[in-house]
Amino acid sequence: MSFLDRFFPKLVAVPPDPDVVFGRYTDAYKTTLQKICWTRSLELFNDGKPLEAYEELLQFMCDEEVANVEWEIVNGVLEFYFLQGSRRIVGRADSERIRVESRIAWADDLNVAFMRRLAEQNFRLRYSRFALTEDNCLSIVFDSSTRDGAPMKLLQAFRELSINADKQDDLLVEEFRVLRRVEEPGTILEISSTEKSIKIAYFRREVTALLEALALGQPDPGRFPGGYVYLMLGTAFRLDYLIRPEGYLMDLLERIYQLYFAKDSRTPASKVLLMKGLFEKCMERTDEQLAGELYKTRATFGISPAVGHDRVQALLEAELPKMDWHIEQKHPEIMPLAIAKYAVGYGLYHYSPPPPDKALFHLFFQITEASFFQELGYSAPYRKAEGGLNKERILDAIRGIGKIWRSEYPEFKVDLKELQFETLPLFAKSYLTMIKNSILVKQPIR
């Protein structure tokens, strides 16, 4: 901190951070108003007023920060739509029936291969189904009588339909050349070419470093596959969170961690080789293809479930001791750091952690991936020019997170004395240990 920062903070102009979105959308944490709307929806449906119940359900789904839902009643018919990534889901309900649909792709030819794929998908779906319209547009549809259309059922059906529509449109168009994307104006928000270039360069840099570490083979991946698993999974989770790809690249990253966690007869060493192949496939994507998969969207449903602070603590308690072995064996820094980055990436991908925990996880990446954030235009210098850690800035950032969430989490407390700043691996372990040992209790709603 400079002299002016310390004594005259208002006189120092700090440029605002850029508007960059990290991680996937979550609907896990609802406002008090949304929770009231949900209760009203259940009551109105039980009172035999389905359209009024559905209006309250849409209000419950509406996130005012992203403007993801709109509706109106026209001549006694409820017409609405909501957004999920690149898809617009359109619905219509009257006193008898409700129907919801999302158009995915135009079919130039009724190819047997993609028809078989969709038939298989329909067996997996619980509420919705893939269908073809009269004008050969591939859609995903849900319909029901209002008598059977309770709000809870509709919410689950909307979630299933939306997530599958947003995921399958990119994958099907990528794989089957007879399909053409249905363009939905206003669903995709472009990011700047500069941001795309920075993210693509970071993606290639990180995957190249991963593949080079595998090529060196120290420690031997045949004898110690666990270290490489952490390296690969941590890279996949981190790339998903930091560059937030859509479409085919997102699916490739997802297949990497699905492959490892699949319960099959493959050994960890064989899975390492298969995961490596998927990373190499990622690198085969051209810059133009990658740029086309980097954009912002609005969503209504998240995939990751909300968890309490205890789940975050359990995750860290299970993973942090594994850093010690690599440190004791004096393996390269990349190995113990891989475990720490895996734990944070896993927590951000598979969970919707409490906001203070999420903020601390994000700060972890701002510190460990400092050059990437600086390239994006972030001003907070958590690393020094010579590569060391900027202790004072890091402590200020942690205190700032505490101040932001103190009203909702009045007992939020971290022990800053636990932090070690000598090396990045030691800091990473001490920082995550600090989170594991923190106290986080939410203020009860009165």
Residues 436 and 371 in one domain: yes
Residues 168 and 201 in one domain: no
- On the CB side of 358, CA atoms within 13 Å amount to 22
Helix, strand, coil distribution of the chain in percent, nearest 5: 55, 15, 30
State the average pLDDT over residues 165-173. Answer: 85
In a domain, 26, yes or no: no
- Number of CB atoms found within 10 A of residue 47's CB: 10
Q: What are phi and psi of 8, to 5 degrees?
A: -135, 65
Out of 280, 298, 316, a domain closes at 298
pLDDT for the residue 221 = 57
In a domain, 23, yes or no: no
Residues 197 and 262 in one domain: yes
pLDDT for the residue 4 = 38
In a domain, 363, yes or no: yes
pLDDT of 367 strictly over 90: yes
Residues 291 and 420 in one domain: no
Which of 276, 281, 284 has the alpha carbon at shortest distance from 231? 276
Residues 38 and 165 in one domain: yes
In a domain, 13, yes or no: no
- 49-58, 201-210, 225-234, 399-408: least confidently modelled range: 225-234
- Number of CB atoms found within 10 A of residue 385's CB: 7
Residues 315 and 446 in one domain: yes
**110 CA to centre of own chain:** 34
CA pair distance 304, 25, nearest whole angstrom: 9
pLDDT for the residue 416 = 94
Answer whether 289's CB lies under 8 Å from 221's CB: no
Residues 49 and 117 in one domain: yes
Give, as one character, the DSSP assignment of residue 389. Answer: B
pLDDT for the residue 17 = 80
Which of 157, 145, 149, 156 has the alpha carbon at shortest distance from 54? 149
Residues 311 and 338 in one domain: yes
Answer whether 296's CB lies under 8 Å from 23's CB: no
From residue 143, give the alpha-carbon distance in Å to each of 96, 100, 129, 300.
11, 6, 10, 19
Tokens 């840099």: give the residue.
Answer: 205
Peptide bond into 225 cis (omega under 30): no
In a domain, 386, yes or no: yes
In a domain, 18, yes or no: no
- On the CB side of 245, CA atoms within 13 Å amount to 27
Largest CA distance in the chain: 73
- Domain range for 221 is 190-298
Residues 122 and 37 in one domain: yes
In a domain, 360, yes or no: yes
* Interval 89-122: pLDDT, tens: 999 999 999 999 999 999 888 888 888 888 888 9
End-to-end CA distance of the chain: 41
How would you classify the pairing of strands 179-181 and 97-107?
antiparallel
pLDDT of 6 strictly over 70: no
Domain count, the chain: 3
Give, as one character, the DSSP assignment of residue 407. Answer: T
- Number of CB atoms found within 10 A of residue 162's CB: 24
State the average pLDDT over residues 72-84. Answer: 95
Residue 117 belongs to what H/E stretch?
Answer: helix 112-124
CA pair distance 433, 352, nearest whole angstrom: 19
- Number of CB atoms found within 10 A of residue 193's CB: 10
CATH code assigned at 162: 3.30.1460.10
Residues 84 and 212 in one domain: no
pTM: 0.88
Residue 144 belongs to what H/E stretch?
Answer: strand 137-145
Out of 298, 333, 356, a domain closes at 298
For residue 151 the two structure tokens come to 């709000």
For residue 385 the two structure tokens come to 């020019």
Amino acid at 441: V
Residue 141 belongs to what H/E stretch?
Answer: strand 137-145
pLDDT for the residue 11 = 40
Out of 245, 276, 298, a domain closes at 298
Tokens 């971290």: give the residue.
Answer: 414
Residues 328 and 291 in one domain: no
Mean predicted lDDT score pLDDT of the chain = 89
Residues 176 and 130 in one domain: yes
In a domain, 11, yes or no: no
* Interval 286-325: pLDDT, tens: 999 999 999 999 999 998 888 999 999 999 999 999 888 8
